[in-house]
Amino acid sequence: MRWHLFLYPGKIVLLTDLVKVLSRECEMFLLQATIGHRSKDPAEASRDSLQTTNFASRCCGKLLDYEGKVSRLLWDECIEIIGSDGTQVIVCLFHFPYTHELVRIRKDATIQVCGAHVLRWPTPVGGKLVVGLCARSHLNVTAFSDPSSSCIAMGTRSRRNRAHKKWSSLGDFHRQSMVLSMWLLEVLELLDTKFVF
């Protein structure tokens, strides 16, 4: 996946002059800029690349164990849990190999995540903390909710080999770093609140 260096996590970007275009190849609407912008000079591009590296290095190596009640399914592979102190935590499962287990999780069930990687604090889409699970992380249900309540996912929503998601044109999120994949999804979620697709 190719992505402009100036779009590093945490930077505020003003998007103007966008036109909604129907892409027949992707079978979706895309936002396209009508005016091209000059290329960045090498010194500025190098500085932005360094800022991206510094941001990622601050997140690396921080692991967290957390327990909370399931609130909702945010995206196909992200759930929101609320801790005992009311803290909203977004759990990103892009790199967790057992996302099919989401089908069995109901709202208000208590889950515990162990060995979760701290990705961001805070997040612009409402959560106070974003953590990501990898193949070495654990997700355990410690208390079940009312059996009559509905599951947060009605079916196995994760189809990692198919490319029909609204963000599929940006590439395979599962092959990106946790920080980048979560940040890209946040950008799209914010765009989704501003534009109707």
DSSP 3-state of 20: strand
What pLDDT score does 97 carry? 79
Place of tokens 């044109």: 169
- Structural domain of residue 99, as residue ranges? 63-143
Q: Mean pLDDT, consecutive 10-residue segments, the chain of 197 residues?
A: 50 66 62 58 61 52 82 79 84 78 78 84 62 85 81 53 49 65 70 70
Domain count, the chain: 1
What are the DSSP E strand ranges found in 76-195? 78-82, 88-92, 110-120, 129-132, 138-143
Would 150 be classed as within a structural domain? no
Would 180 be classed as within a structural domain? no
Would 91 be classed as within a structural domain? yes
Would 136 be classed as within a structural domain? yes
At residue 20, what is the residue type? K
Q: Look at strands 88-92 and 129-132 and give their pairing.
A: parallel
Would 85 be classed as within a structural domain? yes
What pLDDT score does 138 carry? 87
Would 104 be classed as within a structural domain? yes
Would 48 be classed as within a structural domain? no
Residue 105 sits in a domain of what CATH number? Answer: 2.40.50.140
Proportion of the chain in helix, strand, coil states, percent, rounded to 5: 25, 30, 45
Would 181 be classed as within a structural domain? no
Q: How many residues does the chain have?
A: 197
What pLDDT score does 160 carry? 46
